[in-house]
Amino acid sequence: MMASLSWSPLSVKRKPILDIQACNWRLPKLSRQLQSPIFHRKRIKNLSLCRSNLFPWEAETPPYATTDDGDAIIKGSNIVEAIDAEDKSGIPIFQGEEDVIDMKNQPPLLHQPLKWPMWLLGPSVLLVTGMVPTLWLPLSSVFLGPSIAGLLSLVGLDCIFNMGATLFLLMADSCGRPPRSSIQQKSQVPLGYRLWNLGASVLGFLVPLVLLFVSQRGSLEPHLPFISFAVVLGPYLLLLSIQMLTEMLTWHWRSPVWLVTPVVYEAYRVLQLMRGLKLAGEIGAPAWMMESVRWLVSWWVLILGIQLMRVAWFAGFASQNHQ
């Protein structure tokens, strides 16, 4: 920066605007150089100048230096003008794209010490509440026959699993949700995925109801009492309704567990229908009821396989986007 110096023998006290301590040590040296007979221009360039108030007879100069096109370099208290994003290509420091780091695209911390126990605690809760009562608890100790008490005991087993599944999903959400700094990166559920899940669940819900309606009208023989039908497929319909509600909530909250929720419930549903198939044999259900349950088991095994294929596809798609 070029500046002009004027020296006068008059000793007038001025009040400096900038820091006085930063300039005091240069003033004696400056006075000796000004009093010398030879005043080199090269030394003037190396001097550190301190800005002060102007005298009334001195011409007022602009408080900033200007370039050829009239743009100011120093404006007010700013030392350097802000760099325009469109003009950053001309600056060498911005020419290398490999040196620019986008903090929004950085993956969250996958291994946080406070969340390590959840990786074992969540599946353990799901195992204890879902698999242990179904696989190791004798059915004769729970099921008391085709009655309301037997129906409530079966519903109680499914409620225990539902509580464990809810705790598991909450822990998975806590481990998979990004930090608050990147909260805008919430999971986007594809519309086709929503329609597919709703269609599969609605179809699996309507088929048993149609069978019940046709059976009550006497179109299917032999007739199956309502309580026997409720014992075989009542818990299945109730848990399917809870699954549909849970999926809608995960879609609404954009939780990262929207892809895991149907897998958890559908895996248990296969065991639930296998239990219903066994109960149908114990209560003497007709052959059409046995075949209907077998078709439902096959349907949900197919849906579970499609869900697992979607998980594999989504993992590959996310890996491709990350690269």
Residue 60 lies in a domain: no
Considering the domain boundaries, does residue 245 fall inside one? Answer: yes
The answer to whether the CB of 236 falls within 8 A of the CB of 196 is no
Phi-psi category of 254—alpha, beta or left, where left has phi over 0 and alpha has psi -120 to 50? left
Let me know: does 230 contact 150? Beta carbons within 8 Å.
Answer: no
Q: Is residue 34 part of a domain?
A: no
At residue 84, the pLDDT reads 53
**What gap in Å lies between CA 169 and CA 294, rounded to an integer?**
29
For every one of its 323 residues, what pLDDT tens digit does the chain have, with 9 covering 90 and above? 334 344 444 444 444 443 444 444 444 444 454 454 444 444 444 444 444 444 445 444 555 445 555 544 444 444 445 555 455 455 444 445 444 444 444 444 444 666 778 888 999 999 999 888 888 888 877 887 888 988 999 999 999 999 999 999 999 998 888 766 444 455 688 899 999 999 999 999 999 999 999 988 888 888 889 999 999 999 999 999 999 999 999 999 989 899 999 999 999 999 999 999 999 998 989 999 999 999 999 999 999 999 999 888 887 766 666 66
Q: How many CB atoms lie within 10 A of CB 140?
A: 8
75: three-class secondary structure by DSSP: strand
- The two tokens of residue 28 are 């004696």
Instruction: Look at residue 187 in the predicted model and tell me its pLDDT.
Output: 64
What's the confidence (pLDDT) of residue 289?
A: 94
**Environment class of residue 161 by beta-carbon count within 10 Å: exposed (0-12), middle (13-18) or buried (19+)?**
buried
Residue pair 257/173 in contact (Cβ under 8 Å)? The answer is yes
Q: Does residue 36 lie within any of the structural domains?
A: no
The tens digit of pLDDT for each residue in 157-203 reads 999 999 999 999 999 998 888 766 444 455 688 899 999 999 999 99
Is 307 inside any structural domain?
A: yes
Q: What is the pLDDT of residue 322?
A: 61
Give domain status of residue 236, yes or no.
yes
Confidence at residue 82, expressed as pLDDT on a 0 to 100 scale: 52
- Give the domain extent around 197: 118-174+186-322
CA 323 to each of CA 116, 182, 205, 317, 318: distance values in angstroms, whole numbers, following the listed order: 26, 19, 41, 10, 9
Indicate whether 141 belongs to any domain. Answer: yes
What is the structure's pLDDT at 117?
A: 83
Contact criterion met (CB below 8 Å) for 293 and 237: no
pLDDT in the model for residue 156: 92
Is residue 61 included in any domain, yes or no? no
State how many domains the chain has. 1
